[in-house]
Amino acid sequence: MHLFKFPIPVEPSESGLACPAVTVNPDNTKVAFARLDGQVWIYALDKLMATVPITAQKPDFTELSAPMSKVIPDEGRSEITAVRYGNLTDFLAVGCSNGEVYIQRDGKLELAVEGIKSSVSDLSWSAEDELLAIATLGAGILIYDVNNQEVISIINQDATSIKGIAFDCNMGKNLISLSDDRKALLFEYTLTEDKDGKRHFNSSVKSFDGLVNISTLNKSRVRKLSWSRDNRIVTFPNASKGPQTALVTVMRNPENPPKQPTGASGSWKSWCSFVGHGYQCSVTSVSPVTYRNLDCSPQQLESAGLDIIVKHCPTALDYRYAYIVATGSLDSTIAIWSTCADSPLLVAEGISSSGVVDMSWSKDGSKLFFTTINGEFWVMAFEENELGPIVDSSTTGVIPASLLKKNLKEKLKLSREEAILEEKKASTQDDTAKSVDDTVETVVPQKTNGNAIVSTMVAKTKEGKKRVQPLLLSGSTNANGNSNGNDKNKADRASAPRPVSTMEFDPPSYSVGKELPGKVNKLARPADLDGDSSTNHKQQKKSIDAIEIIGSVVLNPSNAFSNVRISIPKVRSVIKQVSPTDDSLELEIINGNGNESTPSRVSLTKTYLPFQSSEVERKQVFVDFLPKRVLLATGGDGDFWVVATVDGNIIVYSDVGRRLLPPIVLGSPLSFLESKGKYLLAVTSIGELHIWDVPAKKSLFGSTSLFPLLQPIYRSNATDSSNNVYFTGEYLSRAENLTLCSVTATGIPVVTLSNGNGYLYNQHMGTWSLISDSWWAFGSQYWDSTAVGSTSNDKSADVDGGSENIVSLLERHTNEEVMRKGKGRLFSKISKIMLMKEGYENLEVVISLNHLENKLLVYELLGDEASFKNLFIVYMKRLSEIPLKARILEICAELYGPNDVTSAPWEPKVCGIDKHKLLKEIVLACAKYREVQRILVQYGEAVDVIG
């Protein structure tokens, strides 16, 4: 094998839509190469190969700059995306990015198709060169009649981005398309003519869903499929990376016994798949010649049948013939495969700086021409018998070209004659029906003595006289079940042609969503299936008052460039906020139009029961008017109330209506506004989090971002000249939802996400800390305050001392999210499997200790003294039970402190608890564990627990 790049100057593409293409004519004398500058250069194949140093002693490169001829469609203004020579003729079809298609015949270039509002992606000639299939990126597949020079059909218009299309090479019956909607479709067609000579393309569609794994047909810039010359196999490319299927081969399974060599329709089956092991595939091309499989068994070689070989040899490795398939990819890799080999015969990687987009074999199978995105023109030449011994085409059942043309002409002639006969028959029936209408005047039904009903038809004779003719409408039957009517009349009536309806029907609609049947079944379900609870549930829904929405927040365009974009609540007409500590206080906001003419009204009212009165009265504490609409409100827990406007301003009131701070300007609308005690939390729509100490009128820390928690993924479709995707930050994917943003009584912000994770902000370190994780729910024995210890007394205890705290709240939230996503049973199953694996026996113990240590650190950060103390003792018991003496010794040394306190800094308290007192409790709680008693005795004597 020899690989050579022709040194042809490359012109860059202006729009990037051009797709350099290559094709070889039927008699193997010409090669057409589509350039990036909108021109097609046609070379004589022998003179082109004379420029290759490996095949010529003195290469002549002048031929490359002086081609045999040039084809310039649209005067070079349009970029070329596809070129194809005919199968039998030198017709050259050229497709352009502006939707125009040109055909060169006898040296003349003609505009064949125009007005397509989409780019042409691929072209294919029928086996007899009578039809040209045009694949587009948005207008379906156009079938162009070359003889009548018109588009006779448009099929598969609903498909998105059809990238590849191919007629069969030797039957004139099948057309296959491949598109970006992951569909490989087979169109079985017939070409007919009417009495006027107008041709019609009649097709039925079948899908390869059961044969081709559509999940592997990923989106790609190009996707070219290919037929073998004998029409037995079709190859589909796969653009996936990694050790996956690089090529799928589908084989036609003819009828048995065969009716004719290649004309049997038969069925299809997946024949073989080539595993790429990292090689991509976006372009395929089957060699036009067939090779002998030298590894086939002698019994198969002696088989005389052609079509029955498929049944006897179900696998490609045992098939008597071998097909050579070339594949190219966008990662600049060319591979040569054989159907009788498991691995590629040849792989050439990194041959160019851009990907392969088109390829074409010479008709003798000795040369493979291919092009790249940046306009390079390459050839791969093979030595004689390098790919194997060639089989004569007559042996494989390939129909000669002359016979193909003859068969098509006979079929079209027969269809035209049938159309003429049908028209004559229809006109004869119309004349007969007209004469009957002129004769018949009236029909009078009459009853007879039998069971039959007889009607009379009044007709005119030749002399002009009227005569009554009886007609039998329904015959009677005797006791034996035989009809009294004439059997011959029945047969005549049964064989009479049925009347043809002239009514036209629209096809059924396919726009109904898949979820509609489920919704209909749900609505049609009886109300009493679930008992009284369903009825009560419906009544509760009816009792909920609807919230009146008056509009959405208008965002500043500058916010569209933020790395984080959080949804914003809609503006409500009325907002009510009740104090969590005093139900009699209620803040009510009635939104106006957002201007000075109709301002928004903010009022605080108090409900009380007057002396010696049974009626509750409301008293207005304060009222304020704002020229803007209010989006959120909070307060009542401390000594202040807060409202946030749609433009991101925050206004703080005291309990009597005095403004405590000037309006706080944040610059973007708020998504969350919460308060607890004296602290106020605000989260903007661009992910900025603020916390203020309202009485002190200061911020606890600078604004921080929620970006590290959400972690959106950047996406971009920007590519360079080598088709490499690079980062631009133009698009962001959807991240996890924020399910909770709140603040604790000590001013620590807490955030939870829809994946179950819970976080708090450590203002001392300036970072976010993880509180609750689904990993700990997967393997920790102490998850969600479960019972601990190995004794019966400890099992009744609670890890957190039975108190409600933030950590237990977030752990329950993680449980809810895990169960909502259906991962509960999966976690349980995986946990059991992992514990049985070698090296993972201590998985549950390690995860449990990590979970306890993290909870202790969180309690210390939150200042939860009671929960910290209870959990610390549980943690020390667990360490003593295992036992982990090194950790116990380290903890006891930290609690006891240095002998000389002045020599080293040491804090005598942890989470507000005296360390020596805590050490005493630990010595007493863990004294029953024999393995650690020596360590505990040492520190017990130091703190006077042991005398």
pLDDT band at 868 (very low <50, low <70, confident <90, very high): very high
User: Is residue 333 scored above 90 in pLDDT?
Assistant: no
Q: Which residues contact 59 (CB under 8 A, 6 or more apart)?
A: 50, 51, 52, 53
CB 107 within 8 A of CB 118: no
CB 45 within 8 A of CB 32: no
pLDDT band at 450 (very low <50, low <70, confident <90, very high): very low
DSSP state letter for 350:
S
pLDDT score recorded for residue 786: 40
Q: What is the pLDDT of residues 20-34, one digit of tens each?
A: 899 999 999 999 999
pLDDT score recorded for residue 220: 62
User: Is residue 756 scored above 60 in pLDDT?
Assistant: yes
Distance CA 280, CA 770 (A): 41
Taking all residues of the chain, what is their mean pLDDT, rounded to a whole number? 75
- For the purposes of burial, counting CB atoms within 10 Å of the CB of 495, is it exposed (0-12), middle (13-18) or buried (19 or more)? exposed
H-only helix segments in 798-903: 806-820, 824-835, 843-862, 865-881, 885-896
Q: What is the pLDDT of residues 494-516, one digit of tens each?
A: 344 444 433 333 333 333 344 44
Q: Across residues 301-325, what is the average pLDDT?
A: 56
Q: Across residues 833-859, what is the average pLDDT?
A: 83
Beta bridge partner(s), residue 233: 251
Q: Cα 442–446–447 angle (5° rounding)? A: 170
Please confirm whether the linkage preceding 883 is cis (ω < 30° from 0).
yes
CB 867 within 8 A of CB 801: yes
Q: Is the dihedral of CA 499, 502, 503, 505 positive or negative?
A: positive
Q: Across residues 688-700, what is the average pLDDT?
A: 94
Q: What is the pLDDT of residues 103-160, one digit of tens each?
A: 998 888 999 998 887 889 899 999 888 999 999 888 889 999 998 889 999 987 666 6
pLDDT score recorded for residue 303: 46
Q: Bigger pLDDT: 449 or 58?
A: 58
Amino acid present at 612: Q
pTM of the model: 0.47
Distance CA 250, CA 214 (A): 13
Q: Across residues 774-779, what is the average pLDDT?
A: 79
Distance CA 762, CA 862 (A): 10
Q: Across residues 238-255, what is the average pLDDT?
A: 56
Q: Which residues contact 86 (CB under 8 A, 6 or more apart)?
A: 25, 26, 92, 93, 125, 129
pLDDT score recorded for residue 299: 53
Question: Assign residue 66 a region: left if phi > 0, alpha if psi is -120 to 50, beta otherwise?
Answer: beta
- For the purposes of burial, counting CB atoms within 10 Å of the CB of 147, is it exposed (0-12), middle (13-18) or buried (19 or more)? exposed
Kindly state the tokens that stand for 469. 């003719």
CA 254 to each of CA 174, 191, 259, 301, 308: distance values in angstroms, whole numbers, following the listed order: 14, 22, 9, 19, 8
Q: Bigger pLDDT: 167 or 301?
A: 167
Of 745, 750, 746, 749, the C-alpha closest to 813 is 750
Question: Assign residue 158 a region: left if phi > 0, alpha if psi is -120 to 50, beta otherwise?
Answer: alpha
User: Is residue 698 scored above 90 in pLDDT?
Assistant: yes
Q: Bigger pLDDT: 55 or 207?
A: 207
Q: Bigger pLDDT: 538 or 351?
A: 351
Question: Assign residue 23 a region: left if phi > 0, alpha if psi is -120 to 50, beta otherwise?
Answer: beta
Q: Across residues 770-774, what is the average pLDDT?
A: 87
pLDDT band at 721 (very low <50, low <70, confident <90, very high): low
pLDDT score recorded for residue 591: 93
Residue with tokens 């009022």: 603
Residue 599, classed as helix, strand or coil, is coil
- For the purposes of burial, counting CB atoms within 10 Å of the CB of 468, is it exposed (0-12), middle (13-18) or buried (19 or more)? exposed
DSSP state letter for 659:
B
How would DSSP label each residue in 732-759?
E---PPEEEEEE-TTS-EEEEETTS-EE
Of 91, 90, 99, 268, the C-alpha closest to 185 is 268
pLDDT score recorded for residue 98: 86
Residue with tokens 């490609």: 316
User: Range with the lowest mean pLDDT among 347-356, 476-485, 846-855?
Assistant: 476-485
Q: Is the dihedral of CA 195, 197, 198, 203 positive or negative?
A: positive
Distance CA 269, CA 279 (A): 24
Domains of the chain, first to last: 2-256+267-385 (2.130.10.10), 549-705 (2.130.10.10), 811-943 (no CATH)
Of 931, 945, 916, the C-alpha closest to 881 is 931
pLDDT band at 171 (very low <50, low <70, confident <90, very high): confident
HEC profile for 400-447? Answer: CHHHHHHHHHHHHHHHHHHHHHHHHHHHHHHHHHHHHHHHCCCEEEEE
Q: Bigger pLDDT: 563 or 424?
A: 563
Distance CA 841, CA 118 (A): 61
Q: What share of the chain has pLDDT > 70, as a percent?
A: 66
User: Is residue 481 scored above 50 in pLDDT?
Assistant: no
Distance CA 671, CA 685 (A): 5
pLDDT score recorded for residue 778: 75
